[in-house]
Amino acid sequence: MNRSSFSLIFLLSAAIAVVLATGVVVLATLKPLPEITRPVERPSSMGRRIPPTSPAAEPVAPLKRRREAHLLVLGDRTLSEMVVASVRGRTGVSAVEPVDAARLTIAGRQVSTMGVDPSSFRSYTPGPTARSDPLWQSIAAGDAAISFGLGTDGGLAPGSSVNAGSLRLRVGAVATMGLGIIDAVVSRPTARRLGLPQGNALLVSAPRADSAKLRNALSRTLPKGLQVVVLKPVFTPARTGRAPSSLPGDRIRTALTAAASKLGAPYVWGAEGPDAFDCSGLIQWAFGRAGIRLPRVTHQQFASGPQVPFAEMQPGDLIFWRLDPTNPGYISHAAIYWGDGKMIQAPRTGDVVKIVPVHTRNLAGVVRVSPG
């Protein structure tokens, strides 16, 4: 229910640099990239693989080992061999995976899309996804794998064919890729046909490095214009015996008033306002009116401050849920606590921004937005 707009991609102050005639927006603007915390534990009814429409040009290599992606290096054009070698040779980096990353218009929606080599990229995905040979063969054959949210709230069903740029793209399956910013994955040959930039991003695996320090080091040494983003957010627990700092009361009131001014606005997957919103888009927009810059996607918003006990919620706190059956560990919905046991939220497709009683089913936690 939350979406990145690459958003993908899959930071907040940079501007979108290039709009291609195919409907591709090169991601010179990158919004925070959350990482799924647990692999898929049970399949969704939407996760059934649809047989590919055509055989893959080459068979997909079997999975050899699993890796974790910790950073994303992103530019608006093909990264040079010097840049790739610089990242690959950095102390602490164990593997680098070149990918194509852009926001693509699919079925009229701006979708964070990644072009990948199925044989190598699969090792960066959660276990059940990585081990699914039929899934990767489907992607290699020209299908797209989409996120649960894009399938449900975005209205794209497995087996459907949709307009993507100037082409028709077949949705092969719903599958968790382990990066909350990614809403669609295609093979790199398909990405070429769709007009995505070639090799403009790198997934970086650095399991023994401090991701934040590595990001800072790369940002200092890589050419200007490249972004380096930590994919795994750092969650801050509340300190025992001390109430965490909260925003000034006037800012909280401004954010709540802004959110309430949009009561009745429709939920639209990926929408950031001012006339329509998804859940995280409403939160980012409302706090932005109060001068507070928050990440775009829900999983990163979960790291916007310390977690507080549910019983100690205050107006302006953010409430989070895990609702994605394809990935039970992912933070997939958020709302703003209104007070008096109520919250304001953009719920789902077909609904509108509204104030409703707080519910605790699949509750992930409550976060107090940090003044910092």
The pLDDT of 274-299, averaged and rounded, is 92
Q: Which residues contact 21 (CB under 8 A, 6 or more apart)?
A: 166, 195
23-35 pLDDT, tens digit per residue, is: 444 433 334 322 2
151-161 pLDDT, tens digit per residue, is: 888 888 899 99
Q: Which residue has the higher pLDDT, 51 or 338?
A: 338
CA separation, residue 224 to residues 127, 288, 350 (Å): 36, 27, 43
Q: Are residues 33 and 181 in contact, defined by beta-carbon separation less than 8 angstroms?
A: yes
pLDDT of residue 241: 54
The pLDDT of 32-59, averaged and rounded, is 40
- What percent of the chain has pLDDT above 90? 56
Least confident of 93-107, 162-176, 340-354: 162-176
Contacts 24+ apart (CB under 8 A), 272-278: 272/5, 272/296, 277/346, 277/353, 278/1, 278/2, 278/3, 278/153, 278/346
H-assigned helices in the chain: 81-88, 118-121, 127-130, 133-140, 148-152, 188-194, 211-221, 249-260, 279-289, 298-301
Token pair 């507070």 in the structure block, residue: 292
159 exposure class (CB count in 10 Å sphere: 0-12, 13-18, 19+): middle
pLDDT of residue 26: 41
- The b/e string for 171-196 (b: 16+ C-beta within 10 A; e otherwise) is bbbbbbbbbbbbbbbbbbebbebbbb
The pLDDT of 126-134, averaged and rounded, is 90
pTM: 0.75
pLDDT of residue 155: 84
